[in-house]
């Protein structure tokens, strides 16, 4: 890892006399938030394998398909009766009938309207309503993307390379099924403003903490173990935040005094194109912020135990899911099966008595993030020209610049972004560690944040 930064870099900040920072223009914002085909960010994302669904969401051969939208493209995910996964255009190439209502067969899905059959790779296999002499199925070019199943995830590659890159080497993909878990939430906002919450070092002790940091009972109800440990510092604002550049991203450490001999360092990660990792304990954790389109995304939470011994010996009490986080009955929308009961239209089922007396009245860390991110600005795409950024936002600024620079380098120079051809950059973790005050925190935590 590179040497930790202890002061803002001049290329990241344009700080005025009033200590505000104004950086991002309308053009910058457009580049960062638009993900459709042909846009710089959309093309950047298409260089990578993208997570589509947990395997458990599409397990049954010949079972119910899923409506998917990725990077603005409407798709259908299904598992054929023979067990192969298909990810194809959502509408039949004949007359654009929804293939969601089609019949899943051994080698594809048959449209309910006129019987055209589309294979798992998008090939048109049959045109039963067309006489033999008028057949033209070999000329049909229906969207169909390669898929791979690895680590409990169905991945897809939507780029143009003849040979897709290697899959990312996350640790969770290398452990047995019973040592990992996934939880997905639909977000009604652009991927970037959702993802920025995952690398924001100063919001945790405000949005996710009790009004009284010593209120252990309230904290235990909705904060994970590592956040409760941070509460014991008595400090809502970190003493410092230091950024360390890494291949394809960065880690940052937020320091709080723990006692006379030690500091608590909460260490997070950002990795291209949209991965973050919050501090973890025995159970490690990460996030994927996958764009549905410009105005929606899916938040993936992935958790894992690096070894079975750690899982069996851990004394950590895992945070239970809140009832408000349970899913609605499946909606007829892309990713309509992962909408939580609490959402924007019902004010996230806020409890105003809790809001008045103990903490924000929205249950659980996930919904607390969701309520802010979906209403920033107040629309689905934050207008970053109107922000008044501060030194506490330097991790956000760094991530924006990394994304921006990678997208422009791909567009203007054809440069392959980090992580596409070097999947080992994902062999990392985050952590929350007590570090002796006289130690270099970067060196001290190195073995805990790599594998």
Q: What is the pLDDT of residues 86-128, one digit of tens each?
A: 999 999 999 999 999 999 999 999 999 999 999 999 999 999 9
pTM value is 0.93
Q: Do residues 72 and 36 lie in contact, with contact meaning Cβ atoms separated by under 8 Å? A: yes
Burial class, 352, CB count within 10 angstroms (exposed 0-12 / middle 13-18 / buried 19+)? exposed
Backbone region of residue 72 per phi and psi (left: phi > 0; alpha: psi in -120 to 50; beta: other values):
left
Query: For residue range 150-201, what is the model confidence (pLDDT) as tens digits?
Result: 999 999 999 999 999 999 999 999 999 999 999 999 999 999 999 999 999 9
Q: What is the CATH number of domain 49-157?
A: 2.102.10.10
Find the angle CA(386)-CA(390)-CA(395) to the nearest 5 degrees: 100
Question: pLDDT, tens digit, for every residue of 17-72?
Answer: 455 565 799 999 999 999 999 999 999 999 999 999 999 999 999 999 999 999 99
Yes or no: say if 251 and 267 are a contact pair by the CB < 8 Å rule.
Answer: yes
Classify domain 168-448 by CATH number.
3.90.380
Can you tell me the distance from the alpha carbon of 119 to that of 124, in angstroms, rounded to the nearest whole number? 6
Query: Where do the CATH 3.90.380 domains begin and end in the chain?
Result: 168-448
Report residue 382's pLDDT band, with 50, 70 and 90 as the boundaries.
very high
Q: What is the mean pLDDT of residues 353-381?
A: 93
* Overall residue count recorded for the chain in this entry: 451
Q: Which two tokens stand for residue 365?
A: 């860390």
- All CATH 2.102.10.10 domain ranges in the chain, comma separated: 49-157
Q: How far is CA 323 from the centre of its chain?
A: 22
């Amino acid at each position: 890892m590179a040497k930790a930064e202890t002061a803002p870099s001049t290329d990241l900040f344009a700080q005025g006399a009033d200590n505000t920072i104004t950086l991002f223009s309308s053009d910058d914002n457009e580049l960062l938030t638009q993900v459709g085909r042909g846009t710089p960010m959309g093309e950047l994302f298409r260089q990578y394998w993208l997570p589509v669904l947990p395997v458990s969401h599409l397990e049954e051969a010949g079972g119910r398909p899923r409506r998917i939208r990725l990077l603005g493209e409407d798709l259908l995910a299904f598992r054929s009766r023979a067990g192969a996964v298909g990810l194809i255009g959502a509408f039949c190439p004949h007359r654009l009938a929804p293939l969601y209502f089609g019949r899943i067969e051994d080698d594809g899905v048959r449209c309910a309207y006129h019987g055209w059959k589309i294979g798992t790779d998008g090939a048109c296999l049959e045109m039963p309503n067309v006489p033999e002499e008028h057949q033209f199925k070999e000329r049909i070019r229906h969207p169909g993307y390669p898929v791979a199943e690895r680590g409990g995830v169905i991945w897809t590659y939507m780029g143009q390379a003849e040979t897709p890159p290697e899959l990312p080497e996350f640790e969770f993909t290398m452990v047995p099924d019973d040592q990992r878990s996934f939880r997905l939430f639909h977000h009604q906002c652009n991927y970037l403003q959702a993802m920025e919450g995952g690398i924001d070092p100063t919001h945790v002790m405000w949005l996710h903490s009790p009004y009284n940091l010593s209120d252990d009972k309230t904290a235990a109800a909705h904060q994970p173990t590592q956040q409760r440990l941070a509460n014991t510092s008595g400090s809502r604002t970190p003493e410092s935040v230091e950024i360390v550049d890494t291949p394809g991203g960065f880690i940052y450490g937020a320091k709080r005094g723990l006692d006379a001999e030690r500091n608590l360092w909460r260490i997070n990660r950002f990795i291209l194109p949209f991965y973050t990792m919050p501090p973890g304990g025995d159970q490690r954790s990460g996030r994927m912020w996958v764009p549905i389109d410009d105005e929606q995304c899916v938040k993936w939470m992935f958790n894992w135990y690096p070894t079975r011994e750690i899982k069996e010996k851990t004394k950590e009490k895992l945070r239970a899911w809140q009832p408000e986080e349970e899913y609605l009955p499946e909606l007829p929308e892309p990713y309509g099966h992962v909408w939580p009961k609490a959402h924007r239209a019902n004010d996230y089922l806020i409890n105003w008595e809790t809001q008045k007396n103990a903490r924000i009245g929205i249950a659980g860390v996930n919904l607390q993030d969701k309520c802010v991110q979906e209403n920033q600005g107040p629309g689905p795409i934050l207008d970053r020209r109107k922000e008044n950024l501060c030194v506490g936002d330097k991790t956000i600024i760094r991530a924006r610049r990394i994304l921006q620079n990678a997208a422009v380098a791909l567009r203007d120079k054809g440069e392959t972004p980090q992580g596409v051809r070097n999947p080992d950059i994902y062999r990392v973790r985050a952590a929350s560690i007590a570090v002796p005050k006289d130690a270099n925190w970067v060196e001290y935590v190195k073995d805990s944040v790599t594998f």
